[in-house]
Structure 1
Amino acid sequence: MQATCRKATIDDVDILHDLIQGYAQQGIMLPRSREVLARQIDTFVVAELGDDVVGCGSLTRLGIDLVEIRSLGITDGYKGCGIGSKLVDCLIEQAKEQHIPKIMALTYAVGFFERNGFTVVDKEIFPEKVWKDCIHCPKQHACDEIAVLKMLN
């Protein structure tokens, strides 16, 4: 069975929350409250296998020419099945539709993003990200995430 991607709806909030919390508890994703997810639901996409949501991701605008992939996660048992790449492709298409030429992420999964056409870059080239989010992060002075960037045509 092939996973499909669609825009998330308000009915997906609890599933998104549970998926993101699982990653947040491991210290590899920032937690998001149900309220924040409901407010930002239009930025999320989900991957489905049949009737089950098995992954999610969101796209956040950081500037006029830059968006960030956030909250990219796959349900345990479905990792390694191409679902993450399908979600990234969906988010890249959204960025292209918005005529945004650069898409970035902060990640521990560098190999995954490199396989999807991203390049490792110095995170200091993203002052938009630093001032918008990093100032609120508990790891701000010892960030161990790697920045990746893809230029879109």
Structure 2
Amino acid sequence: MIRKACIADAPIIHKLLAEHAGKGAMLSRSLAEIYQAIRSFYVLEEQGEVLGTVSLQVWWADLAEVRSLVVSERLSGRGCGRQLVQACIDEACQLGLSRLFALTYQEQFFARLGFSLIEKSELPHKIWGDCMKCSKFPDCDEVAMAMRLPPASH
């Protein structure tokens, strides 16, 4: 089941992200940052256990980012990551956004969901604030991918 995160989920979200950040697969986020952004998170819950998460970060009137995507390795290959990203796509459409992007090492995964490679320079400068905290900055090896969203039907 995919649902919006609640305050009680913050510590487990933090643990999931820290495990993957420790492997160099993503940027870490502090527990304080997760609490502050809890309304942007979705969680994947199975039998009462949170086993995955994703966040939708709105950057501008027409642009949002899929970030902090993690799924427990024991659910690998079951489409859980796709379901989490789809929750972000659905919300972005409901909000009336026209473009969604991700900075990722998982190019094929995002391509299967309809994202295409773009130049990082196409993204607004303000998104790079988090990158300054990364040990790989300025030699980032992630790729930028984006997708156009259908017009909102309000």
Which interval holds the TM-score relative to the shorter structure? over 0.9
Which string of whole-angstrom CA distances, capped at 9 and with x for unpartnered residues, describes residues 96-120 of structure 1? 1110010000000001001111111
The separation in 1 between residues aligned to 2:53 and 2:121, in whole angstroms, is 27
Contact 1:66 1:101 in 2 (8 A): yes
| Residue type at the aligned position of 2:62 | D
Matched, 1:94 2:87: no
1:49 paired residue number: 46
TM-score by length of 1: 0.92
Which shifted more, 135-144 or 59-68?
Answer: 135-144
Identity %: 38
Give deviations 1:4-29, integer Å, cap 9, x for gaps: 21000001011101100011101111
Report whether the alignment pairs 1:141 with 2:138. yes
- TM-score normalised to structure 2 length: 0.92
For residues 97 and 137 of structure 2, the distance between their equivalents in structure 1, rounded to whole angstroms, comes to: 27
Following superposition of structure 1 onto structure 2, how do residues 57-68 of structure 1 map, counting pairs within 5 Å?
A: 57-68=54-65
Deviation readout 1:49-68 (Å, 9 max, x if unpaired): 22121110001112111100
Q: Answer yes or no: is the 8 Å Cα contact 1:63–1:128 preserved in 2.
A: no
The amino acid of 2:117's aligned partner reads V
- 1:34 matched to 2:39: no
Stretches of structure 1 that go unaligned for 5 or more consecutive residues are none
Q: Please show how residues 71-150 of structure 1 align to structure 2 within 5 Å.
A: 71-150=68-147
Shift of residue 38, structure 1, vs aligned partner? 0.9
Q: CA deviation at 1:129?
A: 4.9
1:21 to 18, 21, 31: 18
